[in-house]
Amino acid sequence: MEKTFITVGRMLLGLYFLLPGISKIPTYTGTTEYMLLHNIPLASILLPITIVLQIGLGVMLIIGYRIKESALILAALTIFINIGMHDFWNEYPNTDAGHETQNFVKNLAIFAGLLVLSATDRVQQWKLFSK
């Protein structure tokens, strides 16, 4: 059961990053504007990097390749995004502080899940295509 739960959890965490990474491509301009609204420096550089990391590392988690490294990089990305984009303590036009607080706390849980995944001793053995 433990192997199955970790594999399913890992795949769901990978999907959590893969889908938003893909969705940022058709909404690129809007996402850039949202980053600028939140005073994210170098948004034109950081957005493509974020897209590549979310898609690439999300796929790596799903297929079970370099899980610990992928989980740690995504954990760091999650914290940076959380502090920069879900800063509920600041006020922005057309932004609901309650919704941003909810996103902030949710992302802390994702961060925690990634830390647990990265620290699991036998996680490298539990790959999607292993027997």
DSSP string for residues in 12-68:
HHHHHHHHHHHHTTTTHHHHHHHHHHTT-TTHHHHHHHHHHHHHHHHHHHHHTSSHH
Domain coverage including residue 51: 2-125
Domain count of the chain?
A: 1
pLDDT at position 126 is 47
Q: Is residue 13 part of a domain?
A: yes
pTM of the model: 0.88
Confidence of residue 127 (pLDDT cuts 50, 70, 90): very low
Average pLDDT over residues 67-86: 96
